[in-house]
Amino acid sequence: MKMIELKLKSRFFRLMGIALLAPVLFLSSCNKDDDDDTQEQTISEEEAAEVVIASVSAETAGMVGQVEEASLLITAEIDEDDCNQTVTGSITGSNPPGTVMEYTYDYNRSYTLSCDGSNEPQSLTYAFTGTSGYNAPRMASDDHVSSEASVTGLGSSSVNLTFNQSYGRNGSQQSKIRNKQAFTSKVSVQTNNLVVNKLTKKVESGNATVNISGKSSNGSNFAYTGTIVFNGNGQATLNIQGGGTYVINL
């Protein structure tokens, strides 16, 4: 009888141990799932890259689109009568609703032309600020935009314009990929010797550094850093530090 009794007691304690352990395992499992859900809510590199791409591409009235607008102004309208003068104005644009890339922008802009003693244009300071938005297949955004550029190569002997520019874009986004989250972001792009052909008004070469940071709708912060190389064939390459490479159609 003693042997049977001991076996029963041993079995009883084993069952009790399993019963006590089960809630701990269950709670651990729930905590793991919660952590995974939180991780999934973080804005992904892919989503951040989409915002940078749209901030740069002319297809969404990004930075390159405004560089092309400035190049057109410089080659078609600015002359020696503007020497050492600051000129202000406004510029607006939009793509019709229903197109693949919808966008609008409304900027106040100014430029100051510096000339030498012979009234030969030497450099131009070009700035604009205002609002811009886009609705693209993978991302939608409403932003405040500001930019300041120093432009050289204005002389008649030069076939290219060169832009060194600080471009900033702050706003709110709605992702249409991954978890389709809403978030806010701040994008800054600093170009280095961005070369634009005077005849075609297209970017031929140059590079830029880019930073994007912000917060998702659940309060999670995110930040990415990268570089952009302008390849001269209507495309640029975005390289995220420690991450992937993305093609930008300019």
Contact 230, 248 (CB under 8 A): no
Please give the pLDDT value at position 114: 95
Contact 113, 85 (CB under 8 A): yes
Contact 214, 220 (CB under 8 A): no
Q: What is the mean pLDDT of residues 241-246?
A: 97
pTM: 0.82
Contact 64, 58 (CB under 8 A): yes
Average pLDDT, the chain: 87
Q: What is the mean pLDDT of residues 131-149?
A: 97
Q: Which two tokens stand for residue 137?
A: 């297949």
Q: Residue 98: is its pLDDT beyond 90?
A: no
Among 20-34, 103-117, 153-167, 216-230, the range scoring the smallest mean pLDDT is 20-34
pLDDT interval class at 11 (50, 70, 90): very low
Q: What percent of the chain has pLDDT over 70?
A: 84
For the chain, the structural domain boundaries read: 1-41, 43-249
Q: What percent of the chain has pLDDT over 90?
A: 75
Q: How many CB atoms lie within 10 A of CB 46?
A: 15
pLDDT tens-digit map of 41-71: 489 999 999 999 999 999 999 999 999 999 9
Give CA–CA dist 5/9, Å, rounded. 6
Please give the pLDDT value at position 137: 96
Q: Which two tokens stand for residue 144?
A: 């405040």
Please give the pLDDT value at position 15: 42
Q: What is the mean pLDDT of residues 210-227?
A: 96
- Find the length of the chain: 250
pLDDT tens-digit map of 179-205: 899 999 999 999 999 999 999 999 999
Half-sphere exposure of 218 (CA within 13 A, CB side): 12
pLDDT interval class at 26 (50, 70, 90): very low
Three-state SS sequence of the chain: CHHHHHHHHHHHHHHHHHHHHHHHHHHHHHHHHHHHHHHHHCCCHHHHHHHHHHHHCHHHCCHHHHHHHHHHHHHHCCCHHHECCEEEEEEEEECCCCCCCEEEEEEEEEEEEEECCCCCEEEEEEEEEEEEEEECCCEEEEEEEEEEEEEECCCCCCCEEEEEEEEEEEEEEEECCCCCCEEEEEEEEEEEEEEEECCCCCEEEEEEEEEEEEEECCCCEEEEEEEEEECCCCEEEEEECCCCEEEEEC
Q: Residue 74: is its pLDDT beyond 70?
A: yes
Please give the pLDDT value at position 27: 30
Q: How many CB atoms lie within 10 A of CB 163?
A: 25
Q: What is the mean pLDDT of residues 110-120?
A: 93
Residue in the block written with tokens 């600051």: 86
Please give the pLDDT value at position 226: 98
